[in-house]
């Protein structure tokens, strides 16, 4: 049997898990860096001041529902000065709703929602687990390949 074809067949799991692991680890590092950039931001409570419809709610042929998306504008006060800025596009909020935001103390016009580290940690753990699984899969493929070569050697020697 063709050695290269056999090895490729035996290592297909590793060829999936290793790139997946690399992608997840790189993405989680990117998220950690972007969250770290916002770590000096200050948390405050903002009030939804305006809501603009971006896209209507829809249901596709399979019955999957896509919620409506809105541009959410918020008002908040920093050092006795009131700001009114776009927070972003998200699912429905009503005018007057209270939302936790974070703002850049050097430029209070820069705002975002406070991030959660849970997603970053889950992506990192999933990426590392995929890499480990891929490495274990390659080791098993190499062991299986060596075992097959020894078996073939025994057949050619008449054993």
Domain boundaries, the chain: 3-33+119-156, 40-114
- CB-based contacts of 1, cutoff 8 Å, min separation 6: 148
Average pLDDT across the chain, whole number: 83
Q: What is the pLDDT of residues 41-86, one digit of tens each?
A: 888 899 999 999 888 888 888 888 888 889 999 999 999 999 999 9
SS3 content of the chain, % helix, strand, coil (to 5): 45, 30, 20
Q: Poorest-confidence range of 3-7, 84-88, 99-103?
A: 3-7
- What is the pTM for the complete model shown? 0.54
The percent of residues above 70 in pLDDT, for the chain, comes to 89
Residue 115 has pLDDT above 80, yes or no: no
- Asked whether 68 and 62 are in contact (CB, 8 A), the reply is no
Rg for the chain, CA atoms, rounded: 27
Residue 36 has pLDDT above 70, yes or no: no
């Amino acid at each position: 049997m063709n050695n290269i074809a056999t090895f490729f067949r035996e290592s297909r799991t590793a060829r999936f898990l290793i790139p997946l692991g690399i992608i997840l680890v790189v993405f989680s590092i990117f998220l950690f860096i972007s969250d770290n950039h916002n770590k000096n931001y200050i948390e405050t409570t903002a009030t939804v001041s305006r809501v603009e419809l971006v896209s209507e709610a829809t249901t596709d042929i399979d019955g999957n529902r896509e919620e409506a998306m809105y541009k959410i504008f918020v008002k908040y006060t920093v050092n006795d000065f009131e700001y009114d800025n776009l927070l972003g596009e998200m699912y429905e909020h009503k005018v007057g709703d209270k939302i936790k935001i974070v703002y850049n103390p050097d430029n209070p016009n820069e705002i975002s929602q406070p991030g959660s580290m849970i997603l970053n940690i889950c992506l990192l753990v999933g990426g590392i687990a995929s890499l480990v699984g891929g490495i274990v899969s390659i080791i098993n493929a190499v062991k299986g390949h060596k075992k097959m070569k020894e078996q073939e050697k025994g057949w050619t020697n008449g054993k």
